[in-house]
Structure 1
Amino acid sequence: MTKSQKERISNIILFVVLTLGAILILFPIAWMICTALKSAPEIAMYPPKLLPEKPMFENFIIAWQKAPFTKYTINTLIIVFFTIIGNVFVNSFVSYGFAKVDFAGKNILFTCILATMMIPGFITLVPTYVIFSKLHWVNTYLPLIVPAFFGNAFHIFMMRQFYMTIPIELTEAARIDGAGHFYIWGKLMMPLVKPVMATIALIAFKGAWSDFQGPLLYLSDRNMYTLQLGLQVFKGQGFTEWNYLMAVSFLSMIPILILFFCFQNYFIEGMNVGGAVK
């Protein structure tokens, strides 16, 4: 077998594997869209059918009017905005310190921060709820926003790795000219780390936009519900309006898809460079 034949076979195998992977990823989305376009009797049919006999596009309008989803979307955007601000700026500044500033115990402290990534999130649910309850933050957005301003181990790691790729001579020259760390971070470093900042912003947006557990735990006032929490309106005792639930679920996916396609180049570059160990 010649080299060209081997390459051809490997390309065919790669194409088949990638095609199967794409089908596995896209099929649930296709099922969700088709379910959103069905009537209730069609959904209850057995065996189930993928395509609706008569697409009911009005399901999207009816579903959106079933609850104040516009208000829920605004509530979600408020949380998302402050979550992105906290994640981008706090993690950027902390990671700059680990990458470009020498101080005693830096490596030990960085290792301790990375070690927190091994702690399962559900272990901290009860302690954090008790703390926020004593602070009288329950039924406010503060428990969903404030943690973003205390750093994220994975984001700090990503940005620190990106900072490590920037020549130290740049910061040393600025220090010789009398620039302080705040100036170097804000004026010199921030413009250079746009790809990883965009990556962190996308991850933070996706996490805050899709969060269900946090709002379920801390919010009880229906006027403060987020979009994901508002989806509960379609679930009753022993019955779920699957067509309306899938309709709003699909609409809630659109902002994430748009942002990813608009900033995918930044995202890929940020993941490649930010995840590289120097």
Structure 2
Amino acid sequence: MRLPRRSAFRSKRRVGQYVAAALVSLVFVFPFLVMLSTAFKPESEIFSSPPALLPGTWTLANFRDALAAIPFWRYLFNTVLIAGLSMVGTALVCPMVAYSLAKVRWRGARVIFMLILGTMVLPPQVTMIPLYLIWDGVGAVGTIVPLIAPSFLGVPFFIFLVRQFLVSVSDSLIEAGRIDGASEFRIYWEIVLPIARPAVVTAAVFQFMWAWTDFVNPLIYLNRPENRTLSIGLYSFFGENTVAWGPLMAASVLFTVPAVLVFLIGQRFFIGGISAGAIK
């Protein structure tokens, strides 16, 4: 009689876990649903009492007003360019640095790795002014260079993430390549990089998200209106005394869709990439 009781207990426990996961998911999804609903509501329904989740009258006027209020397509191009180049830089540079720290024996590798970890401890507010002075000294303020160059120089967190994944790769595969006379770069490109694809894609998608939603750095470095990103453009809907909530929510939906698509494309690599870094 104990086995049926245990089975019933496990079934109830599993149902409870699913219910808890659904409730937690609803908490995170609810703000997005409110944003999506408000984007299709006429102005008279946005602050109706009692509030309704679904619009009584569906309208696309908020989207037309949002596209007319700001140079949306120009801002979208700037955002895609910055986020795309940042993602490419992360996918190219971070795995190479991580491979050299994880699988290549050279003097000072451990010290360099500790320094990289140390930079992760520093809050961005500490380095904000020194970095601005550096970029201003080379005449890069006002361009997108300060926003994309750090990705091509290596992002510490993603170097750490990919390095932890590569530590689990068998050394015998690499040694076999060296015995066959393959160069270090060929071993990295043909053996290690395909194995590390989940971690690399995870790092690239995270970098895209960070660059896509970044507000502070574009606000600091992009001082010309034609170079602004969508995150700055959304602030245009906040007036001195009022907020255009309908167009703001419509623009926010358009701002969110590309990031969601990138996440959905790369989500199948997420579990392997994140769990590998967490286990180590």
2:242 to 239, 243, 248: 239
| Shift in Å, 1:84 | 1.2
Structure 2 Cα separation of the partners of residues 118 and 183 of structure 1:
34
2-structure distance, mates of 1:204, 1:88:
9
Cα distance in 2, alignment partners of residues 43 and 37 from structure 1: 9
CA offset at residue 47 of structure 1? Answer: 5.0
Question: Is 2:270 aligned against 1:267?
Answer: yes
TM-score, normalization: structure 2? 0.93
1:180 aligned partner = 183
1:103 equivalent in alignment to 2:124: no
SS of equivalent to 2:279: coil
CA-CA distance at 1:111 after TM superposition: 1.9
Q: Quote the offset at 1:170 in angstroms.
A: 1.7
Gap change, CA 1:47 and 1:130, over 3 Å in 2: farther
CA-CA distance at 1:254 after TM superposition: 1.0
Say yes or no: does 1:65 pair with 2:68.
Answer: yes
**Structure 1: 5+ residue stretches without partners:** none
- CA–CA separation in structure 1 for the residues paired with 2:275 and 2:72: 37
Partner residue of 1:135 out of 129, 133, 138? 138
Q: Aligned residue for 2:194?
A: 191
Aligned pairs for 1:1-278 (under 5 A) are: 2-46=5-49, 48-277=51-280
AA matched with 1:259: V
Q: TM-score, normalised by structure 1?
A: 0.93
Structure 2 runs not aligned, ≥5 long: none
Aligned mates of 1:127, 1:41 — CA distance in 2: 48
Post-superposition shift, 1:42?
A: 2.6
> After the TM superposition, which parts of structure 1 deviate over 6 Å for at least 4 consecutive aligned residues?
none
User: 1:83·1:145 contact (CA, 8 Å) conserved in 2?
Assistant: yes
How far does residue 87 in structure 1 lie from its aligned partner after superposition? 0.8
User: 1:40 touches 1:241 (CA, 8 Å); kept in 2?
Assistant: no
Spell out, residue by residue over 1:231-277, the C-alpha distance to the aligned partner (whole angstroms, 9 max, x if none). Answer: 12211111110111111111111112122222211121111223321
Check conservation: 1:91, 1:155, Cα contact below 8 A.
yes
Q: Distance in 2 between matches of 1:43 and 1:255?
A: 25
Q: Distance in 1 between matches of 2:121 and 2:51?
A: 42
Compute the displacement of 1:148 (Å).
0.9
Name the % identity.
36
Two-structure CA RMSD over aligned residues (Å): 1.7
Aligned to 1:104, the other structure's residue is in SS state coil
